[in-house]
Amino acid sequence: MDRFILSNFLQIMIIRCVALIGLFCSSVDAANQLTPSAGQILYRQGILSSGNQMTAIVAGDIAILGKQFNCQSCHGRSGMGAAEGKYVVPSIAGKLLFSGSHKRPAYDRKTLARVLREGIDSSGRLLDPLMPRFVLPDNDIEELAVYLEGLSAEPMPGLDDKVIRLATVISEDIDIEQRKAVVDVLSTYVKVINRQTRLESQRPNRGTKPEVKLPSLYREWILDIWTLKGDRQSWPAQLRNYYQTQPVFALMSGLTSGSWAPVGRFCENNKIPCLFPSTDLPDAEQNDFYTFHFSKGIKLEAELISEHISSQFVPKVRQEGSKTIQFYCDAIGARASEFLTSALAQQKLKTENISFDCQEPMPVSKLIAQLKKSPLSDIILWLAREKLNEITQLLPARNIYLSSTLLQRNLLGDFPLAKDSLLVAHPYKLPGKIDSAMRRFKVWAKLHGIKIRYPKLQAEAFFASFATSDALNHVRRYRLRDYLLEMLDHSPGVAVYLPHYPRPSLGPGQRFLTKGGYLLSLINGEPDIINAQWILPF
């Protein structure tokens, strides 16, 4: 009887364990919904367990609050450190900090407290004055030590000693020719990388020193294509299924219709680098860490227009004397109008938004009627060229704004709707200017037999591949995703290889390569690049 009861008990426990495992695996995101530990909050934000900001003493006697100078500020989220000019910030990730080296003994709780408070390392050496001295209670040092022990302790999936597995996300509604053009660039770049590493497996022993016995710096790349199908609400589940079936180290490039938000949220929730997708609607959130974008897309254009409008008027006078009217007929135009409405609202400026069906004729008479009521109005036409061409008469507006993105960056040609008040929000390099990065891509494409059919998309795919490769080379033997992103943060030279976009830059915490854009006047069917106005929105 006892044996029977024990047998049933074991069966029930096994079933429950299997159910729990299934529940765990059903959501890759589950582990990331845990409340941050006190040690993590202290490391990243400089906030003590008491809720107060910690104090850092720099230059011997200057007190700075922890939010201004915390551990992550210098050592990075990964704890792997970085190089700042001639100064090297050492790694403090658990396995490196709490193990010894030829330079110093391993840290323990006592020596960790000493180095934090007094700046004396585990060998008794006084550290550089650039290392702050922190005012920390014992319990917070213990919390920090526990966090550091687990920091970057485990290698991330999708990468081992021989293979780096990457993926690119493309939605099925993307034009098949565009998809092929982008995938051609990505797959060719992967083949080039793999040709350069093809002999590494034949060189397992390259000497007698311990460091040459470490895993190779060079690994084969494998690129998966994750195709998203159907309703956008099902995309998170599709992404989880792809990742559970075959984990990848990072997402590279990407192309979807509409908002990138479902993919971006997946990357943030699962701490997966998402490097430079092609999208006009990034819909990134303020504290996103894992996704790098080329720019804010159509939102940046709205910000450029907002800056120009709000700079010309005192809000009270502006509201009484005129309006800002927006016209649009599709989803991206609707989103653009939302962005501009929100941006102008911060300046206490109101907008009037008018939508219509793109399949219907342009309601020009309705637009003109609105403008006649307030002839000093600004009008924003979030429309493609074919709809703009339906406007064959002058519009009685003070300023008329167009979108370079919706014009597909082709600014040539007359628009009969205005004489001298036509302005274009243009977050790209100025037309007619030499684009050295684009020339470089064209040479590469010709060398590898790639036909350039969609210059912007293909150049973006090339840059995403190049930036990923550069960051992986710097990561070297450490299989850490956060470290990969930090290598991009500290690789400002990579940005000069970006075609199309003006004044790109990379740096810690920066997740948009291009932060500003131009406002161009169209005169006699051509953009006035001499008087182009550069705007950097706040």
pLDDT(142) > 70: yes
Please state, in angstroms and rounded to a whole number, the distance separating the CA atoms of residues 536 and 516.
4
Do 529 and 401 fall within a single domain?
yes
pLDDT(213) > 50: no
Per-residue pLDDT tens for 476-510? 778 899 999 999 998 888 999 999 999 999 988 89
**pLDDT for the residue numbered 493:** 87
Do 287 and 306 fall within a single domain?
no
Domain CATH number, residue 240: 3.40.50.2300
Do 303 and 421 fall within a single domain?
yes
Structural domain contains residue 387:
yes
Do 398 and 369 fall within a single domain?
yes
Tokens of 365: 């008479």
Closest CA to 421 of 341, 528, 315: 528
Structural domain contains residue 196:
yes
Per-residue pLDDT tens for 326-335? 999 999 999 9
Structural domain contains residue 445:
no
**pLDDT for the residue numbered 347:** 86
Do 315 and 407 fall within a single domain?
yes
Structural domain contains residue 138:
yes
**pLDDT for the residue numbered 200:** 55
Do 385 and 530 fall within a single domain?
yes
Q: Which of 97-101, 265-269, 375-379, 391-395 has the highest mean pLDDT?
A: 265-269
pLDDT(20) > 50: no
Q: How many domains does the chain have?
A: 3
Tokens of 202: 């034949």
List CB contacts of 145: < 8 A, sequence separation 6 or more.
39, 109, 112
If you count them, how many residues does the chain have? 538
Q: H or E element: which one contains 315? A: helix 315-321
Per-residue pLDDT tens for 259-314? 999 999 999 999 999 999 999 999 999 999 999 999 999 999 999 999 999 887 65
Cα-based distances in Å from 94 to 89, 99, 108, 491, 520 = 15, 8, 11, 25, 52
Structural domain contains residue 155:
no
Please state, in angstroms and rounded to a whole number, the distance separating the CA atoms of residues 449 and 272.
32
- Confidence label for 122 from pLDDT (cuts 50, 70 and 90): very high
- Confidence label for 320 from pLDDT (cuts 50, 70 and 90): low
pLDDT(168) > 60: yes
Do 475 and 338 fall within a single domain?
no
**pLDDT for the residue numbered 58:** 85
Structural domain contains residue 388:
yes
Do 244 and 353 fall within a single domain?
no
**pLDDT for the residue numbered 120:** 94
Domain CATH number, residue 65: 1.10.760
Do 246 and 196 fall within a single domain?
yes
Tokens of 173: 């509604």
Do 172 and 195 fall within a single domain?
yes
Question: What sign does the CA torsion over 252, 257, 262, 264 have?
Answer: positive
Q: 249-264 burial by CB neighbour count: b if 16+ within 10 A, else e?
A: bbbbbbbbbbbbbbbb
Structural domain contains residue 506:
no
Do 142 and 78 fall within a single domain?
yes
Please state, in angstroms and rounded to a whole number, the distance separating the CA atoms of residues 500 and 428.
6
pLDDT(22) > 80: no
Structural domain boundaries, residue 395: 299-426+518-535
Instruction: State the residue for tokens 């080329």.
Output: 294
Per-residue pLDDT tens for 412-427? 887 878 767 799 999 9
**pLDDT for the residue numbered 28:** 44
Please state, in angstroms and rounded to a whole number, the distance separating the CA atoms of residues 173 and 516.
30
- Confidence label for 240 from pLDDT (cuts 50, 70 and 90): very high
**pLDDT for the residue numbered 350:** 86
Query: Looking at residue 356, what DSSP letter applies?
Result: -
Do 141 and 168 fall within a single domain?
no
Instruction: State the residue for tokens 């020339």.
Output: 439
pLDDT(100) > 90: no
Q: What are phi and psi of 123, to 5 degrees?
A: -95, 0
